[in-house]
A and B are shown apart, each in its own frame.
Chain A
Amino acid sequence: MIEASTDALLPSPGSRVRPVRDPFHGDLLEVSMGPHHPSTHGVFRMVATLDGETIVRLKPVFGYLHRNHEKLGESTTYLASMPYTDRLDYLCSMTNNWAYALAVERLIGQPVPERAEYVRVILAELTRLLNHTCLAGFLLQDCGASGTPLMYAFREREKILDLFESLSGSRMMCNYQRFGGCRVDPGAHWLAAASRVTEGYGRFLDEFEALLTGNEIMMARTQGVGPLSAKLAVAAGVTGPMLRAAGVAYDIRKVDGYGIYPRFNFRVPLGEHGDTYDRYMLRILEMRESIPILRQALAEIPAGPIMDPKARLRGLRPKAGESYGRIEGPKGEIGFYLVSDGTPNPYRYRVRPPSLINLTILEDLCLGRTIADAVIILGSVDIVLGEVDR
């Protein structure tokens, strides 16, 4: 129990707080949720101040998984940071690799062969499928649909992880991309297997949507919950599906056109209400847009080297300067900012993590809702604590 001033008691405008007529009215209860709570997706803690069952204040507390990623990056060589980027957002190691490789390639002016660019697009879109599938499964888990939808999602995810394993040697810690290309050439067998997964994915999505999209319980739990306005989203620097669910058309694949994305014809789905249901639906639609991109990339991939023959693996000493490489990761803009002072180690190594920046608005989304809703809202924000804490 804490004593609070009356200001804190005032519900935010539009919230559904009913006046409570009891002698204890005005007493707020502070609940610490996490860091060991399973629904916080890792070691994340929410300090929620409750009036009855309504959240009147919510403080996200993180840092439990902090492991000095940026400082480590400054004390090791450029190559040695590559495997550490896998451990940022451990669901999307391939896109993390790409963003870092892009930053270093811009710093040293390293071209990338055509085949490697196609492989990167294929891997990035597979990662998007993987991440969004996981998110949908976990969101349902948070709603209370214990196990079943999550297992269906994980069954599909396993197919993509098998692809990653046979290509890079590891399911999640891929460490696959290098400055100037990729490490291993995917053979014809691998590309055929990737095609099979791509073709089968639409069917899985149909089935998954039959299970969920029209489900009345799902709609009752998510529609109108945690709406995010476009204005707040832009002001807070939110990116990725969160921002697009709020109705802002901003996709770095379109805006920057990095890699070979301008060659692909795809649509950017947009949400209307910015609520939890929109955020779920937007991810389903993004997956549906990823499938044609994959199909086109798998059909058009040219033969050739996977690594630039002039690329150097070790002993990089970029000229003094700075670079920023950003890509549209499944969670938002993942970027790496590097400053070189001409030594083998970067002078500054900075990560722009989408999970952390999307998480900053959690309180705005949760005010006036119950704890059970906060769990779903957190699930729809899509965080991975490895990236939030770094």
Chain B
Amino acid sequence: MLGTGLIKGLMVTAKNLAGSFHDPERLVTTEYPEQRTVLPQNYRNFPFLVTENAEDPMGTLRCVACQICEKECPPQCIYIEKSKDKKADAAGKMQIYPAVFDIDISVCMSCQICVEVCPFDAIKMDQVFEIATADRFTGLLLDRGQLSKPNSYFHQIHPTDAAEVDGRLAAERKAAAEKAKAAAAAAAAKAAASTASAPSPVKAPPPVSAPPPATAVPAIPPPVSPPPPPSPPPQP
């Protein structure tokens, strides 16, 4: 009969209308600014730089300015300048650090390729999306200071990833420390062996006489204290 299809269709509409009052399956709208959905852990939007220490964000960036992400970034929105000097990283190793690290997030498309290619786990994806600004140019050009966020923040937004990264870094550092220790032990053993094998009676005096000149003219300079962290750029 003509019209039965229409009536059947209207029944569906009626079912949806009635269902929207009691069935969460049929009323899926959230009133955004007041209600917020929980973002999935994998959600990604714009990268940030991980710092080891929240108190000294500039001094403890994991980034070593290798510029791989700059090269691989599909829309070319990353700009890095290497530092001229070196600073100790979290493991105490002297590393180059990024003197300039800018990301133009008006160009960034949050594709996560910088995160995937980074060998140092220094850049990770953030979950911010409420960053609208009236300042079109400088407001969206984020520099090193604005980009760096502590590792605890990374733990907060991507707990699984962060735990995995921390475990891996700790294992790497432990291995590096053990290797250094082993190397030191080997060097010491070698030195000991060389001293033992050298049958020289005049072996004893040098240690006594050596220290004074060493203090006067240090052959090996003591570790240079890291340059003071550059003051964060003036925030507009």
Contact = CB atoms under 8 A, between A and B. Distances in A.
A210 B9 contact: yes
B44 A170 contact: yes
Given A210-B9, A214-B8, A219-B5, A314 B72 contact: yes
Given A169-B44, A207-B12, A210-B12, A175 B112 contact: yes
B28 A211 contact: no
Given A165-B40, A166-B40, A314-B72, A83 B109 contact: yes
B5 A169 contact: no
Contacts, number: 80
A218 B8 CA distance: 13
A77 interface: yes
B3 A216 contact: yes
Interface string A203-217: 000010011111111
B83 interface: no
A79 B125 contact: no
Interface string A82-94: 1110000000000
A61 interface: no
A218 B74 CA distance: 45
A277 to B, nearest CB: 13
A153 interface: no
Interface in A138-184: 148, 152, 155, 158, 162, 165-170, 173, 175, 183-184
Given A83-B109, A166-B42, A167-B42, A216 B74 contact: no
A80 B3 CA distance: 55
Nearest to B44: A169
B81 interface: no
A2 interface: no
Given A152-B16, A211-B12, A80 B74 contact: yes
Contact of B113 (A80, A155, A210, A215): A80
Interface size class of chain B, counting residues whose CB lies under 8 Å from the partner chain: 20 to 34
A84 B40 contact: no
A165 B9 contact: no
Nearest to B40: A166
A76 interface: yes
Contacts of A255: none
B43 A158 contact: no
Interface in B9-24: 9, 11-13, 15-16
Contacts of B26: 155
Given A84-B74, A213-B5, A314-B68, 12 more contacts: A76-B74, A148-B13, A165-B42, A165-B43, A169-B43, A173-B109, A210-B9, A215-B8, A215-B9, A216-B6, A313-B117, A314-B72
Interface of A: 76-77, 79-84, 148, 152, 155, 158, 162, 165-170, 173, 175, 183-184, 207, 210-219, 313-314
6 contacts: A80-B72, A168-B42, A169-B43, A210-B9, A211-B13, A313-B116
By Cβ-Cβ distance, the 9 closest A-B pairs, closest first, are: A83-B111, A214-B5, A169-B44, A166-B40, A80-B74, A169-B42, A215-B5, A211-B12, A211-B9
